[in-house]
Amino acid sequence: MYQNVVGGLIATAVALCLVAADGDVRPELVVAGGIVLLLPSVTLIGAVQDAITGQYVTTAARAFETSLLTEGIISDVAIALSVGVRLGLPVRIDDHASTALLNLQAQLLAAGDIAASLAVANYAPRRTVPAAAAGIVGWATFVLVDQLQLPPTLASAVAAVMIGLGSRTCARRRRSSTWWPVSCRCCPDC
């Protein structure tokens, strides 16, 4: 819990320092990159799995834990932004385009790296780590749908469906659970 609280504060503080130094960087991406591994994905997946198997008390407890962990991240991001505003930093919310085709190869490489890193960080079984690198497919689908000028939410949904179908196929061939590949591949699309 405390690492989520401190992690959200540190990620936002770094982004604010870059803004104060007039760095040519999008601070929202710095914050997102800093907190992505703090997100309680394993706890959320465990809650969903418990709900499916009928263990409702455990589901409620894990859902509550997921909520607390997420609130810890959100509260410290908000606190750091409030401090930034009081210090006179130009804190604003912009509506940037979701993706740009300027550096698509780097985006795809980063998506695969994020998916594989999330699998390793969440102690995924060894046989699912190579499958997690297929997060590239999810990001490529997201970029393709986004380039059709459709809403980012729809692009994320289409990418998630593609990831689910691909994960199910991989899980059958490897005789493993679908949970790890789905959670690790969806991360770059969030």
Contact 101, 140 (CB under 8 A): no
pLDDT 10s digits, 26-64? 787 788 888 887 888 778 888 888 888 888 899 999 999
Higher-scoring residue by pLDDT: 100, 51: 51
User: What integer pLDDT is reported at residue 189 of this predicted model?
Assistant: 42
Task: Name which of 143, 138, 146, 147 is nearest 112 in CA terms.
Answer: 138
Which stretch of 18-22, 31-35, 61-65, 183-187 has the lowest confidence by average pLDDT?
Answer: 183-187
Concatenating the DSSP letter of every residue in 117-158 gives HHHHHTT--GGGHHHHTTHHHHHHHHHHHHTTT--HHHHHHH
CA distance 116 to 156: 19
CA distance 129 to 124: 7
CB atoms closer than 10 angstroms to residue 53: 10
Does the structure show a pLDDT above 70 at 129? no
End-to-end CA distance of the chain: 21
User: What integer pLDDT is reported at residue 21 of this predicted model?
Assistant: 85
User: What integer pLDDT is reported at residue 97 of this predicted model?
Assistant: 55
Mean pLDDT across the chain: 77
Cut 0.95: pTM above it: no
Mean pLDDT of the 100-116 span: 78
Residue 177 binned pLDDT confidence (cut-offs 50, 70, 90)? low
CA distance 143 to 157: 12
Higher-scoring residue by pLDDT: 11, 2: 11
Domain range summary for the chain, segments of one domain joined by +: 2-86, 101-189
Mean pLDDT of the 165-172 span: 73
